[in-house]
Amino acid sequence: MVQALSSTDIQSIRNAAHFLNSTLTSRTYIDHKLLFNCINWKTLISDQVETNPHLKDLILTEKIYHNDKNIINLIHGLVSMIDKQRSQQKVYNETLLAKDQKIHALEKQVSELNKKLNEANRGKSNKLIKYNTLQNKITDLTKQNKIYVEDLTKVKNWSLDTKHKYKIEIKRKNLQIENLQNKLIERSRKIPSGIEFGFSGNSAGNVDGLIVSNNNPIIENSTGITINNPNLVIDFDINNELKQDSNQLVNIIESITKENYKFTKFLGNFKQFFHELNTSLSNIKFKNTAMEKLPNPTSVINLQEIMVDPETVRQYFNEIEPSENIATNVLGECHKLYHNLEYLIDAIDQKSDINNESTIAKLKTDLETMKSNWQDALKTTEDWKNIAQKKHSPET
C-alpha cells in the first residue's frame, strides 16, 4: 500500500523550493523557477495531460519527497559552496593584489637602490679620478716648493754674503776716511800760521811765512780766498779732492745703509707673512675652521710702505741688526711651512674621500705668493748688485 505525504512535508518542500528559487534568481543563476514533483506536478505535466491523462493520478510518496528534498539540499549545498568559493576567491584576489602591490613597491625600491648604487659607483669613480688628479697636483706642488726652498736658500746665502761684503767694505771705507782725515790734519799742520804782505823797499831776504811780491793781495775780500803760492794751491786742490772723496764716500755709505735698511725691513715683513701663514696652517691642522683663512701677502708685505728718510738712516746706522738674527727667523718660518705642508700631504693621503680642492687652492695661492715674493727678492738682489757695481766702478 502506497502512503501519501502529509501536508507538513509538502509545505516544507514548498518553503525550501521558494527559498532556493529566490536565491538562484537574485543571483541570476536562473531565469525561471525550478519545478519539483511534490509541489509543481501539475505544471510539469500540463503539456502532456491530453496525451497521457493518467499522469494526473500521481501519488506523492516519500520517495518522490526525498528525491525533491535531496535535489533542493544538493542545489543549496552547491550554492553555499559557490558562495564560500567566491569568498575565498575574493580573499585570494585581495591577497594577490596586496602581494602584487608589495612586489611593485619592492621592484620600485630595488630600482631606486640600483639607481643609488649606480650613482654611488659613478661618485666613487669621480672621487678616484679627483684623488689621482690631486695626488699629481700635490706632487707637482711639492717639487715646485722644493725648488723655491732651494731658491730661497740661495737668496738667503747671497744676502748674507752681500751683507758681510758691505760690512767689510764699510770698514775699509772708514779706514780710508780715517787715513784721509789724518793726512788732512797732517797737511793742515804744515800750512804756515802767519801771512805777510810784501813791500817794494824790503830786500832783507829771510822772512818767515809766505811772502807775496809786488803787493798782490793773498786774500781778496770781495771774491773769497785767492792763493798765489803754487805749493799752497796744490795743497788746497788736495783738500778739495779729499772733501769730494769724503762727500762721495758719505753718499755711498748712506745709500748702502738705506738699501740695507729697506732690504732688512722687507725680510722682517717676509718673516711676519711666513709666521701668519704658518699660524693659519696650524689652525687648519687642528681643525680650527674659524681661523682657516690664509693671510694675503699684500696685506703683510707692501713694498710701497718700505720707505726710509735720512733720520731713520742715521738711527738705523747706529742700531744695525745682525743679519744672522733675521736669517734664523726666516729659516725657522720656512721649516714650519715645510712641516705644515708635509702634514697636509699626509692628511690627503690618509683621507682620499675628502674633497681637498679648497686646500689645493690655498696651496696654489701660497705658491703664487711665494713666487711673487721670490721675484721681489730677486729684483731687490739685482738692485743690490747694481749698487755694488756702481760703487766699485769709480775705484776701478
Residue 223 cell numbers, joined? 771774491
> Residues 332-377: pLDDT tens digits?
777 777 777 777 777 766 665 455 567 677 777 877 787 777 677 7
Residue 110: predicted pLDDT: 94
Q: What ranges do the domains of the chain cover?
A: 7-115, 138-190+229-395
**Distance separating alpha carbons of residues 343 and 364, to the nearest angstrom:** 16
> Residues 245-299: pLDDT tens digits?
777 777 777 777 677 767 777 777 777 777 877 777 777 665 555 555 667 776 6
> Residues 188-235: pLDDT tens digits?
565 443 333 333 444 444 434 333 344 444 444 444 444 444 554 455
Look at 163 and 220; give whichever has higher pLDDT. 163
Burial of 352 (0-12, 13-18, 19+ CB in 10 A): middle
DSSP one-letter string for 28-53:
TS-SS----HHHHHHHHTTTTTTT-G
Q: How confident is the model at residue 172 (pLDDT cuts 50, 70, 90)?
A: confident
**Distance separating alpha carbons of residues 169 and 174, to the nearest angstrom:** 8
Cβ count within 10 A of residue 60 = 20
Q: How confident is the model at residue 70 (pLDDT cuts 50, 70, 90)?
A: very high
* Cβ-contact 79, 24 below 8 angstroms: yes
pTM higher than 0.75, yes or no?
no
Residue 160: predicted pLDDT: 85
For residue 14, CA distances in Å to 4, 6, 28, 57, 148 come to 16, 13, 21, 20, 117
Does position 394 have pLDDT exceeding 80, yes or no?
Answer: no
